[in-house]
Amino acid sequence: MKVLITGVNSGLGKWLSKQFSECDEFVRGSNVKNFPKEKNWAPDGSGYAYKSYDLIIHCAGSVQHSNWSNVGLDLFKDNVFLTRDLISIPHKKFVYISSIDEAKDSPYGVTKRLSEIIVKELCDEYLILRPSGLLGKEMKKNTFQKIISGDDVAVTKNTIMNYILYEDILDAVNANQNGTKVLRSNGDITIEEVVNIFGKKIDFGDIHYEVEYVKTDINTNKTSEDNIKIYKEKYVD
């Protein structure tokens, strides 16, 4: 299977790129028009043709903007226009890693929602995954990673999270499903409980977050606590 994965510098994309025997990588910030093409002339003789993929898994995206006051065009380039441009690369199936927060009116939620619309409109075969918080090797610096390092966090101790593993994403992709699927664990957890699992003493902030409570299409049959303990055993202990 020929696979193209985006967002391979860190996080889920980097981990997924190591799970396929034949995988090309696309780094956010690259120009789709300049993406490497096969050294074969296009059937119509117009020039070199884009390589065709069985599967494109689009993980790349920006999560840096928490409110509308600091949003620039770059967020839409990274989270919306890139999705549109990637779909122009020939493929059989397009997998878009959205977010369980796509319904929120935050800059991140809105751009994820717009990308979902683009995928539904332009792709013949697609899978949109709306995962909760992701745990795995090569994770980006976030609240969870700060807790492991013993650093203070900006969120309240009563902030409610839901966590799944990178492996759950891969299982969903390999299950050959189509459409839009919410992917979350079978049980939420507070940030204070996460801190206690790692035995840290840190200060909390005043930003309160609660994971969206939506109907789950793919249940991992594990709780958030289960997944955190699996992560801890594999990568921390």
98 touches 130 (CB < 8 A): yes
Residue 46 has pLDDT above 70, yes or no: no
Residue 141 has pLDDT above 60, yes or no: yes
- State the angle between helix axes of 191-198 and 224-235 in degrees (0 to 180), rounded to the nearest 10: 30
Q: Residue 43: what pLDDT?
A: 58
Whole-number Å distance between alpha carbons of 139 and 15:
9
Do residues 27 and 105 both lie within one domain?
yes
Residue 41 has pLDDT above 60, yes or no: no
Do residues 46 and 122 both lie within one domain?
yes
Q: Residue 47: what pLDDT?
A: 60
Do residues 88 and 151 both lie within one domain?
no
Do residues 56 and 126 both lie within one domain?
yes
Residue 114 has pLDDT above 60, yes or no: yes
180 touches 218 (CB < 8 A): no
| Maximum average pLDDT range among 15-19, 23-27, 61-65 | 15-19
Q: What is the pTM of this model?
A: 0.89
Do residues 157 and 125 both lie within one domain?
no
Q: Residue 217: what pLDDT?
A: 87
210 assigned to some structural domain: yes
41 assigned to some structural domain: yes
54 assigned to some structural domain: yes
Mean per-residue pLDDT, 47-73? 80
Residue 222 has pLDDT above 80, yes or no: yes
CB atoms within 10 A of CB 120: 13
Mean pLDDT of the chain: 90
Number of independent structural domains in the chain: 2
**CATH number of the CATH domain containing 15:** 3.40.50.720
Q: Residue 93: what pLDDT?
A: 98
211 assigned to some structural domain: yes
172 assigned to some structural domain: no
Do residues 37 and 80 both lie within one domain?
yes
CB atoms within 10 A of CB 157: 16
54 — pLDDT class (breaks 50, 70, 90): very high
Residue 30 has pLDDT above 80, yes or no: no
10 assigned to some structural domain: yes
Do residues 20 and 66 both lie within one domain?
yes
Mean per-residue pLDDT, 118-139? 95
Residue 59 has pLDDT above 60, yes or no: yes
48 — pLDDT class (breaks 50, 70, 90): low
Mean per-residue pLDDT, 30-56? 68
Mean per-residue pLDDT, 8-30? 88
156 assigned to some structural domain: yes
Residue 160 has pLDDT above 80, yes or no: yes
Do residues 22 and 118 both lie within one domain?
yes
% pLDDT > 70, the chain:
90
Structure tokens belonging to residue 205: 């902030």
Domain encompassing residue 189: 140-162+185-237
